[in-house]
Structure 1
Amino acid sequence: MAPPSVYRTSIIDLHKRGESASDIVKRLGIPRRTVFATIRRFNELGTLADRPGRGRPITVSTPAKIKAVSESIRRNAHRSIRKMSEEMGISEPSMRRIVKKKLKLTLYRVTKAAILSERNKEKRLQKAKSFFADTRNGQHLVTVFSDEKLFTVEAEFNSQNHRVLAKDHQKAFDKGKTVHRVSHTAKVMVFGAICSTGKCPLVFVEKDLKITKEYYVKEILEKQLLPWAQQHFNGQHWIYQQDGAPPHTAKYTQDWCKAHLPAFIEKDRWPASSPDLNPLDFSIWGVLQNKVCARPHSSVEALKKTLVEEWDQLSIEYLRATVESYPRRLRAVIAAKGGRIE
């Protein structure tokens, strides 16, 4: 329905004073069609009010029902839209429309995270401010971010969202309805490092999925990361970032980094419990897992092959965009006064 003319009241006032339609057109400087249509409509209805709306009147998204849904969510935000629709006798599409469009609410998945005490928040805030100041000089663009992650040969799936379309149960089973699990699935731990202009070749940890400080330094930093970084940066200054895992914060590791790396973020500088600030944690690993674990693998070697293929396909544009989101996340942590941002 077209919105009413903003000149409706003025046109009718002049019309009541006895002015002709032509004079009103000249006086207000508006199209003749608007003036004649407005006068004709007033003569028919005898009022300035809008005509009754066309179509079926609203029966679901009424103010009363919107208020009832809002009150239900206020009492318990962990509500299922499907269950609320059943309890209130409202269809699920209508309930979603009320929640998203009328109440402007968004569904967020519940996640697990370490508890942040007030002291931890204060430290996170101060360290985030320090790193944010460094990003103004572009230091994050020459920072090598690193992390480790476990991958399993089994396919990852979400039982709430993963569905298979089939005509019957047997055909659904043939298409992968059932995902088999074992008690002790085969796993592989990988070490990854990225910067805004490239990525270190993926490193597989072979020592019973455990990284000691000696293994971390000699097999990963010395043999893998350092040669790649020296070739990639070609003598230019670069900074190394690592999280608070024990092999990373050990004195042995810190001393080696001081002696062999041009610059690195010491253990007391990187904020603890902050996977939301490491690009591998908040982006890279998730993308890699969605691609690699979309299907099961017959062996660890097959899993490794897929990991390397998908790792090599990560584009420079994607890496650059991920690293460039780091300052925005620091700003979000500062706005949250050191609290969680996701």
Structure 2
Amino acid sequence: MANGNSAEARRLYQERHRDRQVPHHNLFQLIHQRLWENVMSQFGAEVMFTDEASFSRDEGNHQQQFSVNVWAGIVGDHLIGPHFLPNRLNGADYRQFLEEVLPELLEDVPLQVRENMYFMHDGAPAHFSLVARQYLDDEYQDRWIGRGGPHPWPPRSPELNCLDFFFWGHLKTLVYATPVENVDQLRERIVASCDIIRNTPEIFLRVRQSMRRRIAACIEANGGHFQHLI
């Protein structure tokens, strides 16, 4: 009700508890900050952010060209995947992935996290397909975020998805540290580099901290451009 305004919170407290001594407004500021930190930490820990990215032969003039389409997810301290999807992903392929592959990828995630987490994806055409949305409605009910879902995901907002602002860039730096000669080697590099990332101490804690700063900046900018505030 006070919307983070400590003076308003103090006034409401005095209005409702006339027989009590009213705490200093600094206490209300502290309470608001602790609540905000708790909400943000839970948000970063309970949402599984997902995305796909294309990896091709490293820069240069090569006669043989190849590419792979990589899916990955992050929830809490867990990197999910990678998994290789068709280069031209359609709704049926994506539905099959959600229904048959994703549950296996999530087996190492604690049951409590799986039961409480929200699934997030962007508004790509395959994600928006009716068959994909029907599955997400059945499996996650109101606990999924995306176009056409119970919680819309803002379009063109890579600064709020940790795979966009952190993971893909870091992964590509590792994958392309030396030239890639063929598609099998590319796949092997991606898998090995993901293992390096998932085994880096506290890396996902730092990602969540960055996410909290970004969300706070987005709110401060009233949903507008906020990169200059990060």
CA contact (8 A) 2:41 2:208 kept: no
Task: Tell me by how many angstroms 1:276 deviates.
Answer: 0.7
> Relative contact order (C-alpha < 8 Å, sep 6+): which is higher?
1
CA contact (8 A) 2:122 2:146 kept: no
C-alpha distance in 2 between matches for 1:321 and 1:336: 23
Matched, 1:233 2:118: no
Q: Which structure's residues are more often strand, by fraction?
A: 2
Matched, 1:284 2:143: no
C-alpha distance in 1 between matches for 2:163 and 2:65: 24
User: How is 1:140-219 mapped onto 2 (pairs within 5 angstroms)?
Assistant: 140-155=44-59, 180-182=60-62, 185-205=65-85, 207=86, 209-218=87-96
Name the structure 2 match of 1:88: none
Match for 2:189 among 306, 316, 335?
A: 306
SS of the residue corresponding to residue 271 of structure 1 reads coil
Task: Tell me by how many angstroms 1:230 deviates.
Answer: 5.1
Name the structure 2 match of 1:223: 100
Taking only aligned residues, the RMSD between alpha carbons, in angstroms, comes to 2.3
SS of the residue corresponding to residue 200 of structure 1 reads strand
Name the structure 2 match of 1:336: 221
Cα 1:215/1:334, change in 2 over 3 Å: same
SS of the residue corresponding to residue 164 of structure 2 reads helix
C-alpha distance in 2 between matches for 1:256 and 1:188: 25
Alpha-carbon displacement from aligned partner over 1:118-137 (angstroms, at most 9, x marks no partner): xxxxxxxxxxxxxx899447
Task: Tell me by how many angstroms 1:323 deviates.
Answer: 2.6
Task: Tell me by how many angstroms 1:185 deviates.
Answer: 2.5
Residue 211 of structure 2 aligns with an amino acid whose one-letter code is Y
TM-score, scaled to structure 2 = 0.72
Cα 1:149/1:324, change in 2 over 3 Å: same
Name the structure 1 match of 2:23: none
CA contact (8 A) 1:147 1:193 kept: yes
C-alpha distance in 1 between matches for 2:40 and 2:69: 34
Task: Tell me by how many angstroms 1:240 deviates.
Answer: 0.6
Matched, 1:297 2:180: yes
Task: Tell me by how many angstroms 1:270 deviates.
Answer: 0.8
SS of the residue corresponding to residue 116 of structure 2 reads coil
Consecutive unaligned residues in structure 1, runs of 5 or more: 1-131, 156-179
Q: Report the structure number with the largest CA radius of gyration.
A: 1
Cα 1:148/1:134, change in 2 over 3 Å: farther
Task: Tell me by how many angstroms 1:340 deviates.
Answer: 2.5
C-alpha distance in 1 between matches for 2:98 and 2:208: 21
Task: Tell me by how many angstroms 1:144 deviates.
Answer: 0.6
Residue 153 of structure 1 aligns with an amino acid whose one-letter code is R
C-alpha distance in 1 between matches for 2:219 and 2:64: 42
Alpha-carbon displacement from aligned partner over 1:163-214 (angstroms, at most 9, x marks no partner): xxxxxxxxxxxxxxxxx32477211110011112211121012x3x111011
Cα 1:233/1:341, change in 2 over 3 Å: same
Q: What is the total number of aligned residue pairs between the two structures? A: 184
Residue 265 of structure 1 aligns with an amino acid whose one-letter code is I
SS of the residue corresponding to residue 202 of structure 1 reads strand
SS of the residue corresponding to residue 232 of structure 1 reads coil
Runs (4+) of structure 1 exceeding 4 A deviation are none
Residue 212 of structure 1 aligns with an amino acid whose one-letter code is N
Task: Tell me by how many angstroms 1:143 deviates.
Answer: 1.0
C-alpha distance in 2 between matches for 1:135 and 1:184: 49
Consecutive unaligned residues in structure 2, runs of 5 or more: 1-35
Alpha-carbon displacement from aligned partner over 1:272-330 (angstroms, at most 9, x marks no partner): 11011000000000101111112221101001101100001113621232133222111
User: How is 1:1-342 mapped onto 2 (pairs within 5 angstroms)?
Assistant: 135-136=39-40, 138-155=42-59, 180-182=60-62, 185-205=65-85, 207=86, 209-218=87-96, 220-229=97-106, 231-235=108-112, 236-261=115-140, 263-268=143-148, 269-314=152-197, 315=200, 317-342=202-227
SS of the residue corresponding to residue 309 of structure 1 reads helix
Cα 1:247/1:133, change in 2 over 3 Å: farther
C-alpha distance in 1 between matches for 2:78 and 2:41: 20
CA contact (8 A) 1:135 1:327 kept: no
Name the structure 2 match of 1:115: none
